[in-house]
Structures are given as structure tokens and as C-alpha cells.
């Protein structure tokens, strides 16, 4: 090539939830075994069947011509109306303040990419990797973060947030993921109010990723941003990948709150809308179907039964892991993930499925310097055939990993816990 095609900041681009799969697939092939994939938060690929009533609605609306047309750049009007009436709040949001995207993945990139390069968004650590990577790629250097504290049920460190906002006036926004991926925590109202107060006092806006807002366990209170935001500008991110669940639809939206309260915020939002207009619109079909899925008479019971299943899995996993030495685990309050911290994690080996697997891993570890928990997760795949995502892959400095609670088969789930438990014990002993 006449010029170098690789951006100078290319090393910042990563998505460990899927990258770990590439290694897992090679190990599977070399070892001749089937991996248990515990890495990705897709209920459908984990084996949950899509109910017939959802398929029937989809069939009904795919037969209509309007599903084949472009739609408004902001999104299909009936979907925006439905979102406003059911998930949002007309005290802080209007129908024109709801923008649909091809999944929150796209929304996250548009939100970060349309900010001036020098301004920063404070993201949690650990975090959903797309946020951290988008923040880093936008700034051209490492993302900036505040800690979630495992010793306080993964609640945000409010003092750190305040200090980082106070002493860095390039910080313009605070990102909160609630309910949280990867930790499964659901934040107390009081915690969220304090974060909003920090944003108010330092003239920042808020980004609340609330894609899991329907996914809290029995008796857990969910506080939505629109209930407490007051007059601070903010964005709530939601979508249909998790609660419906239709991740393959690539359909998510942003609710903009208090757009008119701040001139600079309003102009920035206009940039996001213009960027969307350049692409014309997001895919029409899932937007047309969305109101009919959420308002179907079977929906609430369907969601409740899924949540019950995840909570049962969470209890089973926490009971299993809580007595294993070197492991710290917090019981999730929602979502379908579990994070295990691996305390003082050494670098070790586990017995690999065969020689080819061992040689491949040795070679890989020689070529790439990885953190302790990545090494553990490779050894876990090579030895027990279970794929999880290392916690440092979520922009954390804490060693550990995230597994899902999506396994449909009781026996396979119990076996998976046992395999992981044995691997941890062996790893610390060798």
C-alpha cells in the first residue's frame, strides 16, 4: 500500500467477549471437544427458544409493505410513541427526543464519536467493553474510569467519581450501567441521586445504559434515570436485545432528557441526529414490531419466568462458589451474568486436553503478554472446555471472570460450575 492503512490508535480497539471465542474455536478444533460457551449474553444462542407468539407477530408484520420501507431517521413514529408512553417520561422527553439505532452498539459509537476529541466520558470499571473502547477510540488514548467496588456489592465509588470530575474539566459526562453488565448489580436510588448531583454541580450530562431495566430479580427496586434526573441533561440507552430478547434485530434507542435545558447539549444532540440522517435510518422491521411484542398479553409472564430462571441460576452459582478458596462472589440483583473475582491470582497451567492444545497455548502465551485472568481463562478452555470472559477484558484491573446464567440445561449448568470450581482449585494448587 502507498500509505500505512493502520491507525496509530488501533491497539485501543478490542472486544474481548468475542475475541476470546476465536481462541476457543481453535482450542476446540485442536482438542476435538465441544466448548461450553459462557461468554456471550445472548439468551437465544444459549438455547432459549423464541416463543411462537413472537414469531407470529413477526410474520404478521413482515407481510406488510411498510416493514420494507425506510423509516424516519429518528425512528418509526409508533415505536417512539410507545417508548415515550411506556418506558420514558414526558416531563423530560418528547417524541422527537427518542432516536432509534441499529442496536446500542451503534448508539454508543455515535454518542462518543460526535463529541470533540478532547472531552471525556467517565466510564465504570468494570464496564461493558463497547463503552470503554468507544471512549478510548474517540479520545485516541486509554479510556478514563471510576471503580465499582466489589466489597460494596459493586456499587460505584462516589468519591472517585467526584474527584475525577472535579479535577478534570475535560470530563463532560458520567456513564452508569444500571442494571449492570458485567456485575449484575442494581444500584440504590440514593447512589444514583448522588451521581446526578455530581453531574449537576459540575455541569456534566449523564449517560445511563439501562438496556437491562426490565431484568431485575424478585423484590429488587429499579430506579430509572428519568425518575430522578430533575433538570440535568441526560441520555437513557435501551433496546430489545435483552428483555424481548431479540439481539439479532440490532434495535436499540436513546431517550434524550432535558435536551432544551442546555444549548451546548442541544447542539451536540443535533450532531448525533445528523450523523443518523447520513445513514437514512435504522432497520424498520424491528421498530414496527416492537410495540406489539411488549404489549402482547403473554409478554409479562414470559419475562417473569425468564427472570425466575436466571435468579435460580444465580443462587445456585453463588452457593457453589461462595466456599471456594480465593474466590469472591456477590449475588447479582438482576440480569443474567455472574462475576467471580479471583484473589491473588497466580500464573499457572492446567492439564490441557491434549498435546496440540498445550503447544498452541504455550505458543500463544509466549507471543502475547496477557493479564493473569486471561491466562486463567485460556487454561480453563484448554483444560475443562469452558469459555468465560476475563474481568480485565471489561476494563477492570481486578482479576476474575464473567460467566452467564443462561444455560438452559440443569445438568450442564451444574457440570459447568463443577468444571470451573475444579479448575480454580487446581490452578491455585499447581
Ligand X SMILES: Cc1ncc(COP(=O)(O)O)c(C=O)c1O
Which residues form the interface with ligand X (CB under 6 A)?
Answer: 41, 103-105, 128, 177, 181, 209, 211, 239, 241, 247, 252
Shortest separation between residue 290's beta carbon and ligand X, angstroms: 13
Shortest separation between residue 175's beta carbon and ligand X, angstroms: 10
Shortest separation between residue 201's beta carbon and ligand X, angstroms: 26
Q: Which is nearer to ligand X, 128 or 146 (CB)?
A: 128
Half-sphere exposure of 186 (CA within 13 A, CB side): 21
Q: Which is nearer to ligand X, 15 or 68 (CB)?
A: 15
User: CA-CA distance, 195 to 200, in Å (whole number)?
Assistant: 9
Shortest separation between residue 64's beta carbon and ligand X, angstroms: 24
Could you tell me which residues come within 8 angstroms of residue 234 by beta carbon, excluding any fewer than 6 positions away?
Answer: 199, 205, 206, 207, 208, 225, 256, 257, 258
Return the bridge partners of 216, or none: 334
Shortest separation between residue 211's beta carbon and ligand X, angstroms: 5
Half-sphere exposure of 269 (CA within 13 A, CB side): 23
In 10 A of CB 33, how many CB atoms?
16
Q: Which is nearer to ligand X, 223 or 375 (CB)?
A: 223
By beta-carbon distance, which residue lies closest to ligand X?
103
Return the bridge partners of 125, or none: 147
Q: Which is nearer to ligand X, 131 or 292 (CB)?
A: 131
Q: Which is nearer to ligand X, 147 or 383 (CB)?
A: 147
Could you tell me which residues come within 8 angstroms of residue 388 by beta carbon, excluding any fewer than 6 positions away?
Answer: 20, 38, 39, 377, 380, 401, 402, 403, 420
Cis amide linkage into residue 213, ω under 30° from 0:
no
Q: Which is nearer to ligand X, 150 or 247 (CB)?
A: 247
Q: Which is nearer to ligand X, 100 or 376 (CB)?
A: 100
Shortest separation between residue 152's beta carbon and ligand X, angstroms: 20
User: CA-CA distance, 184 to 147, in Å (whole number)?
Assistant: 15
Shortest separation between residue 254's beta carbon and ligand X, angstroms: 11
User: CA-CA distance, 155 to 145, in Å (whole number)?
Assistant: 14
Amino acid at each position: 500500500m502507498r500509505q500505512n492503512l493502520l491507525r496509530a490508535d488501533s491497539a485501543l480497539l478490542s472486544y474481548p467477549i468475542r475475541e476470546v471465542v476465536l481462541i476457543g474455536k481453535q482450542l476446540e478444533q485442536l482438542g476435538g471437544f465441544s466448548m461450553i460457551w459462557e461468554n456471550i449474553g445472548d439468551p437465544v444462542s444459549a438455547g432459549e427458544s423464541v416463543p411462537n407468539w413472537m414469531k407470529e407477530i413477526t410474520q404478521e408484520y413482515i407481510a406488510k409493505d411498510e416493514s420494507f420501507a425506510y423509516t424516519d431517521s429518528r425512528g418509526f413514529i409508533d415505536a417512539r410513541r410507545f417508548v415515550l408512553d411506556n418506558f420514558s417520561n414526558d416531563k423530560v422527553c418528547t417524541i422527537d427526543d427518542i432516536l432509534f439505532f441499529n442496536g446500542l452498539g451503534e448508539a454508543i459509537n455515535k454518542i462518543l464519536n460526535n463529541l470533540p476529541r478532547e472531552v471525556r466520558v467517565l466510564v465504570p470499571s468494570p464496564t461493558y467493553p463497547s463503552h470503554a473502547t468507544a471512549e478510548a477510540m474517540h479520545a485516541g488514548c486509554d479510556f478514563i474510569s471510576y471503580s465499582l467496588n466489589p466489597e460494596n456489592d459493586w456499587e460505584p465509588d462516589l468519591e472517585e467519581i467526584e474527584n475525577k470530575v472535579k479535577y478534570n474539566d475535560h470530563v463532560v459526562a458520567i456513564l452508569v450501567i444500571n442494571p449492570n453488565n458485567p456485575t449484575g448489580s442494581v444500584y440504590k436510588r440514593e447512589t444514583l441521586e448522588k451521581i446526578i448531583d455530581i453531574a449537576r454541580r459540575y455541569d456534566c450530562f449523564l449517560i445511563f445504559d439501562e438496556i437491562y431495566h426490565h431484568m431485575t430479580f424478585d423484590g429488587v427496586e429499579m430506579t430509572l434515570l428519568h425518575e430522578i434526573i430533575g433538570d440535568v441533561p441526560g441520555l437513557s440507552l435501551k433496546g430489545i436485545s435483552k428483555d424481548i430478547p431479540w439481539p439479532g434485530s440490532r434495535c436499540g434507542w436513546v431517550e434524550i432528557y432535558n435536551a432544551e435545558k442546555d444549548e451546548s447539549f442541544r447542539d451536540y444532540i443535533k450532531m448525533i441526529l445528523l450523523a443518523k440522517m447520513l445513514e437514512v435510518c435504522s432497520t424498520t422491521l424491528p421498530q414496527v414490531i416492537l410495540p406489539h411484542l411488549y404489549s402482547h398479553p403473554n409478554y409479562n409472564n414470559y419475562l417473569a419466568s425468564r427472570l425466575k430462571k436466571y435468579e435460580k441460576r444465580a443462587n445456585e452459582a453463588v452457593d457453589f462458589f461462595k466456599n471456594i478458596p480465593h474466590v469472591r462472589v456477590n449475588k447479582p440483583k438482576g440480569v443474567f451474568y455472574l462475576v467471580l473475582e479471583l484473589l491473588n491470582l497466580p500464573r499457572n497451567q492446567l492439564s490441557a486436553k491434549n498435546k496440540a492444545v498445550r503447544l498452541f497455548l504455550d505458543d500463544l502465551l509466549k507471543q502475547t503478554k496477557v493479564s493473569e485472568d486471561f491466562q486463567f481463562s485460556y487454561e480453563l478452555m484448554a483444560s475443562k472446555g469452558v469459555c468465560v470472559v476475563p474481568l480485565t477484558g471489561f476494563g477492570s484491573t481486578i482479576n476474575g471472570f464473567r460467566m452467564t446464567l443462561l444455560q438452559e440445561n440443569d445438568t450442564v449448568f451444574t457440570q459447568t460450575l463443577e468444571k470451573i470450581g475444579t479448575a480454580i482449585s487446581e490452578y491455585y494448587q499447581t
